[in-house]
Amino acid sequence: MTVDSTAARKPRRSSSKRSSAKQGPAEPQLVQLLTPEGKRVEHPDYSIDLTPEELRGLYRDMVLTRRFDAEATTLQRQGELGLWASLLGQEAAQIGSGRALRDDDYVFPTYREHGVAWCRDVDPTNLLGMFRGVNNGGWDPNTNNFHLYTIVIGSQALHATGYAMGVAKDGADSAVIAYFGDGASSQGDVAEAFTFSAVYNAPVVFFCQNNQWAISEPTEKQTRVPLYQRAQGYGFPGVRVDGNDVLACLAVTRAALDRARTGQGPMLIEAFTYRMGAHTTSDDPTRYRRDEEREMWEAKDPILRLRTYLTDEGMADEAFFAGLEEESDALAKRVRDVVRAMPDPDHMAMFEHTYADGHALVDEERAAYAEYQASFVTAEEGN
């Protein structure tokens, strides 16, 4: 038997022989409202009508998010952060979905949702504490209805589902959104979140940013069907959206949130995008992917296409872009200054907050460690 006899095999994306051919049913159309060339197009199911000011707002969000992200990468290279997970390339997916949310909606992010955090008015410098190593998150999720970053892949999909079950029990018309990636789609917790949300008709939107890579593994290592199609088996709709099109991401997420709010249950959105950078600053993508692929996606850049559209339609002038550049620089400087001044936690801080109601062992160990520390001070004073 030869490999070729496996008739069910799908053409591989890397196959030069078939690269120009249609990808077949496995590569469906995606919802797009703004082409990579910056042209507005219509979609039969999803539409959007934004004022020039709103469009400029989305552009500003994406530019500032990218600048913040670049600054964080730089700070890691300078040793100010231990690690950074860049969102470069995913700005449209995050800003589009993030701007679809209402204040009373609730977000359950992964550790890469810096753009969504921006939309929730989370101070960007709050996100950096865990990457600097001064805390493991530490912000109050209820201040901005933006949960702590979750590092264990896929866990938060269940938290979002449970939270949404609570929203429904409360009779509220808020919606919940769970972010995860193509890698997380393989996790049992995501599958269980799909099951629970469908069974209880929970008002939750699953927003999967398929950025094509789970560290070094391409999406082909996670699935044999387009990810949005998974929803069908659970009994709720799934849709693939151009994840580099901020208008489409906004329109589709709005529609999904509206469904959730009106008791129509969960929906899966697969935002088809690309991780332009490394998985994190510790990763080296040159070991597993080709430059040409990145170049292909560069042509689909989410920010460039909106800039083209704004310019072509006369909705933004040079003064706007120049002003935004200045604002970006100011943001970067503020981030830099705050991070560099971020103090290490007190050496006793690790004992705090292990429990809400206290714990005898923690008390005992805290006291013993304080005494141990104090013994050094005493010795120094003694000398």
Partner 1 sequence: MATEKMSLLKAINASLRTALENDPKVLIMGEDVGKLGGVFRVTDGLQKDFGEERVIDTPLAESGIVGTAIGLALRGYRPVVEIQFDGFVFPAYDQIVTQLAKMHARSLGKVKLPVVIRIPYGGGIGAVEHHSESPEALFAHVAGLKCVSPSNASDAYWMMQQAIASDDPVIYFEPKRRYHDKSELDTAAIPGPLHTARVTRPGTDLTLAAYGPMVKVCLDAAAAAAEEGKSIEVVDLRSMSPIDFDTLQTSVEKTGRLVVVHEAPVFLGTGSEIAARITERCFYHLEAPVLRVGGFHAPYPPSRLEDEYLPDLDRVLDAVDRALAY
Chain residues binding partner 1 by CB under 8 A are 135-142, 147-148, 150, 152, 155, 157-167, 169-170, 188-189, 192-193, 195-196, 199, 352-357, 359-362
CB under 8 A, 24+ apart: contacts of 6-13:
10/224, 12/220, 13/220
Closer Cβ to partner 1, 150 or 211, answer by number: 150
Percentages helix, strand, coil for the chain (3-state, rounded to 5) are 50, 10, 40
Judge contact between 123 and 114, C-beta under 8 A: no
Judge contact between 198 and 233, C-beta under 8 A: no
CB of 49 to partner 1, least distance (A): 34
CB of 360 to partner 1, least distance (A): 4
Catalytic entry in 230, 275, 305, 309? 275
Closer Cβ to partner 1, 34 or 167, answer by number: 167
Tell me if residue 275 is catalytic.
yes
**AA identity, residue 254:** R
CB of 86 to partner 1, least distance (A): 22
Catalytic entry in 288, 340, 347, 355? 288
CB of 201 to partner 1, least distance (A): 12
CB of 61 to partner 1, least distance (A): 26
Beta-bridged to residue 198, according to DSSP, are none
Closer Cβ to partner 1, 35 or 186, answer by number: 186
Distance CA 50, CA 154 (A): 33
Tell me if residue 279 is catalytic.
yes
Closer Cβ to partner 1, 361 or 379, answer by number: 361
The alpha helices in the chain, defined as continuous H runs, are 52-77, 91-98, 114-119, 129-132, 141-144, 155-170, 188-199, 230-234, 246-261, 291-298, 302-312, 318-341, 360-382
Tell me if residue 179 is catalytic.
no
CB of 57 to partner 1, least distance (A): 30
- Could you say which DSSP state residue 40 is in? B
Phi and psi for 241 in degrees, rounded to 5? -120, 150
Closer Cβ to partner 1, 59 or 196, answer by number: 196
Closer Cβ to partner 1, 76 or 187, answer by number: 187
Could you give the 3-state DSSP secondary structure of residue 241? strand
**Inter-CA distances, 45 with 33, 48, 88, 235, Å:** 11, 10, 29, 19
Residues 6+ apart with CB under 8 A from 234: 194, 195, 197, 198
Residues with a catalytic annotation lie at: 275, 279, 288
